[in-house]
Amino acid sequence: MLDKKIGFIGLGIMGKPMARNLLKAGFKLAVYDKAASFDDIIGLGAEAASSNKEVASRSDIIITMLPNSPDVKEAVLGKDGVAEGIKSGAVVVDMSSIAPAVSQEVEKALKARGAAFLDAPVSGGEPKAIDGTLAIMVGGDQKVFDEVKPVLEKMGSSVVRVGNVGAGNVTKLANQIIVALNIAAVSEAFTLAAKAGVDPQQVFEAIKGGLAGSTVMNAKVPMILDGNFKPGFRIELHIKDLQNALDTAHETGVPIPLTASIMEILQTLKNDGFAANDHSAIVRYYEKAAKVEARKK
């Protein structure tokens, strides 16, 4: 598998550590990002490309890690995009979190050029991208998945095929609903504790081992208690994911009222200037309303 040439497009908060882990594993990378600096990745041995098209022309497997659906469409199907340079038999693995319908649209365009496509969004944020322990949920053909799985395993500790193209992003939408609502529940609970005069740190210690405990609680409550909202996953990106969830739910006829409620909380935080905060800053909404901060004493 190390003989496969890999292209990596999108070297932001998530993409850069993911690319770094592939380099550490011994893969040869051609990289490009139209906005972010990637000199440090070049310094680790990656080769710079001048366009998405050039990345594709030099690669057997092309990975994209971009903010949203329009960015993926532009990078793959736009001028000087991946589709213009891709080789027959190559595979595009989109690890962005986008609308499932867009994944299917991109797959169709690439299939016409003799190339394969997988949607493979991730969960875990920047810390797990750095550690190479992301959860990767994949949609696409089983044979293609089997071919690229060894590459994905260098970036994630869990790599699961969940169905055909689009299924990966449906799974990610489900993940993002659960994460957002979990953070909101934690925020409500710890703001209540603080307002009632109980030390939130002690509440955390008391309940984290019980049924209320969760990976979300363990990751986000320490940030809340420290007032540390440095982004691992920004509020503005969670808004994007939940909008995709709402759109998909409306298209499929599924009511998701709790998602609509947390979306309004996130939009309020964005309007208050917190769009670039970590999504643990959902607690700020409750703190403002209750006139208290849920912090360590």
Catalytic residues: 172
Helix (H, G, I), strand (E, B) or coil at 4: coil
Q: Could you tell me which of 293, 64, 38, 283 has the C-alpha nearest to residue 183? A: 283
Query: What type of residue sits at position 295?
Result: R
Q: What are phi and psi of 270, to 5 degrees?
A: -60, -45
Torsion on CA atoms 24, 25, 27, 29, rounded to nearest 10: -40
DSSP H/E element including 64 = strand 61-64
- The H or E element spanning position 32 is strand 28-32
CB burial class (10 A; 0-12, 13-18, 19+) of residue 277?
buried
CA distance 98 to 244: 7
- The count of other CB atoms within 10 Å of the CB of residue 89 is 9
